[in-house]
């Protein structure tokens, strides 16, 4: 009896050991498959110095073509009409509206010149409802103007506006715009999931000013800039050596100070400063040297603007979470990364969000 019991116990232990071994082998195979997916991805995403130099050379060619003519390049190289930047001497109460993606921000600041710099500032972020990103321009700008009016109404006694002076607004609009002056510009196209077709070709400042009037707010837009140009101005405010600004947020872009005489498509008199800020709109850059993977290609094909904004889709926050989701989904399908079943949420496009980064 004892011998039989011992044999039975040994059999149970052997079965348990075999089960554990099979489980470990299964786990090892699963992780090996997952590692293979990552290894393949790493190889296709490789960006050695030689490739980066090719990308850099291709971008330089597009930059020169964009400066030469309006439609000669994938890079718009937009003339911003900004020929001078802050010096730090500025004084007074200033308002700003920053519309750059799925949310916007309103800000007010009291500046005190070289000695006091920023005396006080306040800001407020507002999320834009998804449906307003593809409805009508009236609905979008009325929503923005209503939020702006509410913010202005909360202005405290610490902010001082000289008697008889109207509040002015600096408008940062982070989409491709062909500027016609420092305070006007027509929308070239939407990016970052906006799709209000009726707005293309219209003056965005006029649209916002009309919405402000409908709100009964006594204010006007005095300056229109891209967010990258705004970042460049902010950098120059604290450091006179600032020459370039880059945005890595919902989208991506770059702006820099160019010598006005080096812009062949600029036919107006040269500015006194001799300089002109250029908004590159480099999100639309595309080159055979960029390391596109199957995930990038699938995302582009299913986007609102296939074949456009390739550089933005490779690098910006709007798309990074979705690229990661697609990679995890493939690893789940091919390597059972999360076990035998795929998490339902992993199959929902754009479920993973992004973070913003601003550099100057």
How far from 8 is each of 4, 21, 138, 349, CA to CA, in Å? Answer: 6, 20, 80, 53
Active site residue 353: no
Nearest to 350 by CA among 117, 199, 130, 200: 130
Residue with tokens 């030689």: 50
Phi-psi region of 318 (alpha: psi -120 to 50; beta: other; left: phi over 0): alpha
Active site residue 192: yes
How far from 301 is each of 242, 296, 309, CA to CA, in Å? Answer: 38, 9, 12
Catalytic residue among 98, 227, 275, 300: 227
Handedness of CA 143, 147, 150, 155 (dihedral sign): negative
Crossing angle (nearest 10°) for helices 294-301 and 317-335: 120
Return the number of other C-beta atoms located less than 10 Å from residue 271's C-beta: 14
Catalytic residues: 192, 227
């Amino acid at each position: 009896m004892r011998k039989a019991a011992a044999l039975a116990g040994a059999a149970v232990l052997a079965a348990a050991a075999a089960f554990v071994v099979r489980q470990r082998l299964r786990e090892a195979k699963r992780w090996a498959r997952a590692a293979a997916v990552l290894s393949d991805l790493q190889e296709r995403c490789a960006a050695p110095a030689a490739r980066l130099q090719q990308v850099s050379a291709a971008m330089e060619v597009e930059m020169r073509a964009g400066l030469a003519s309006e439609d000669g390049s994938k890079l718009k190289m937009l003339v911003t009409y900004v020929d001078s930047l802050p010096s730090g001497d500025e004084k007074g109460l200033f308002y700003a509206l920053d519309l750059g993606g799925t949310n916007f921000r309103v800000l007010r600041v009291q500046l005190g010149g070289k000695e006091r710099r920023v005396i006080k500032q306040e800001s407020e972020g507002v999320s834009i409802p998804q449906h307003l990103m593809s409805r009508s321009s009236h609905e979008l700008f009325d929503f923005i103007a209503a939020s702006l009016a509410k913010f202005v109404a909360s202005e405290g006694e610490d902010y001082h506006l000289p008697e008889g002076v109207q509040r002015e607004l600096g408008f940062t609009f982070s989409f491709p715009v062909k500027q016609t002056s420092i305070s006007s510009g027509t929308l070239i196209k939407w990016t970052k999931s906006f799709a209000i077709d009726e707005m293309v070709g219209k003056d965005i400042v006029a649209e916002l000013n009309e919405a402000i009037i409908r709100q009964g707010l006594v204010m006007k837009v005095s300056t229109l800039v891209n967010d990258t140009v705004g970042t460049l101005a902010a950098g120059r405010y604290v450091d006179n050596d600032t020459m370039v600004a880059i945005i890595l947020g919902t989208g991506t872009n770059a702006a820099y100070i160019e010598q006005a005489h080096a812009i062949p498509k600029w036919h107006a008199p040269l500015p006194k400063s001799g300089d002109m800020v250029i908004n590159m709109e480099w999100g639309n850059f595309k080159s055979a040297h960029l390391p596109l993977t199957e995930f990038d290609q699938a995302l582009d094909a299913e986007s609102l603007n296939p074949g456009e904004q390739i550089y933005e889709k490779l690098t910006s926050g709007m798309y990074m979470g979705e690229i990661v989701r697609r990679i995890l989904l493939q690893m789940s399908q091919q390597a059972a990364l999360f076990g035998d079943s795929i998490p339902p949420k992993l199959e929902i496009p754009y479920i993973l969000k992004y973070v913003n980064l601003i550099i100057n």
